[in-house]
Structure 1
């Protein structure tokens, strides 16, 4: 491996710091990664969903696209593995480069290793190294050591991110739907709307799931590749190796200069070297007598004999081998805690607290079961029960204690002409609510909302009357909440028929 060309700063990192490195690599090569991703996965997504529709199993496309994730993961890994050494390849080069890698590991990832939680770390080992099966198995045991929890956490975290994106799209769509068009409950939505257009809803859900997967899966592969690089840096000391290679390159460049200088110095004549102040080398001293200029005295001899006597003692001299069994990772003794004086009492206290925790858990589960049983009728009414009365909150604000006037249209027109526009529209809205309830034979409750009456307008058999109810409710909404009032012609049109005039046609 040509480590000199690598563009990533190689140093031992903590696993979560390596995950940040993977996210940074993905951001730096985002265009190359996602262009190759969509160029390959979009046709596969269309084919899988088309196959599901043709077979009459629309959910099959969603399952197939999710199952083919190990096949899609080859694309981001190819881009990132080339980008850290040279440049990011184009999407055409990425698709052509898949022929260089073995498909045996991908087939394993699509079969018995599909639910492997360490797939992000196993992928670069299988595709980039290309070692035989036995050697790859031995390397995997060493590579995954101490980081298996981090790789599993990465897998489950990315699954949760995909789920969050999937649900966020649906919640955003739900917030954009007008209140009167929303289903009354989730059971109503899945039992009526989804059942009536099951194929369309499943294809729409598969599309949203594919977009969520496209946003998260390249990040998953990039973080796994960063964990792989970090683990190999820790095991093989890539940072030290790279430092020595750079030092060697600098010394080679400096050695050429020194060689030229030595050649130039050797080419000078002896007279020139003497003139330059060069001194001949001194002779090597071969004994202590020549070094100090005098023979050693008797004190030095006595010290030498004493040292020889000490080294002959077996306690100091010689070599010996000692073998004993020790744990590889011995935990350090905790000196901060005091020893327990009464171990029996400690065991009793532990058992008591454990029993209390179990009782607390059982009580919580029982309380949840009682709550579910108590509210089961309110949360999910039976099919044969009549629909509950709709809330009518705004009616409580507009409802007067006196009954409606006999000439609702005339009183409303008089209030409007007297510049009491809000009171006029409130009276008209109240009359519309009461007469709509009489028409549909619904009881009046205390919490009505405009959205409920807009929804009830769909139950009126006469489309003209339904449109008139919707127009009156909308007019009241604009006046009550936005302070926007209609003109005189619009008021006269609302007062010209039912419900302002009893018995009149719409």
Structure 2
């Protein structure tokens, strides 16, 4: 602060002494590098001021750095030439744009159709398993009541023969065709009740049992049971004996599904 006041006073003194000289030299033309003449007092003040300005307080320097975007050299345009076959190929691809759009649309429709088919197949294939799983989640803790007879057939678990197919074939060979079909149907209902946890009621008919099996089991098992039920109705009510080939197919199918 003291240095600043001192400098200001000296500068004022310099202006006072230098002004008359400057006023008297209005018409004076200086050459390059020349200075105006000064009075002795002004010269002394000039030297004092120069000495003060040469001190550290007035001669400090400060370096400031900053980022500056580097300008890239302009790229020179090059005259690139392409082979004729490449140009022809690009033009043909451009002209075939409508064709590829049509192919893309067809492919999109096919993919959506495939997805819909997969969804329908999975629903039909696992409908029974999912239904049983949901029923198991919703069923009460108390054990469900199982029917003991269905349309005259004993369906208690203790009534299941040890070898169902062998027992049925034995009855068939002895001429008891109705009993052979009844053994296959009885064993199938017992399996469905106790192993596959299908729900039946005492008052269910053969057709109602077939509908419940279709809703609660897999498609292969449902298809087999419908075939067995139809042959049972044929021999039990219409008294029409199925062929040996039909009976043999029932025995083979029972071993596959159960």
* The structure with more radius of gyration: 2
The TM-score, its normalising length taken from structure 1, stands at 0.21
Q: Please identify which structure carries the higher helix content.
A: 1
TM, length-normalised to structure 2: 0.39
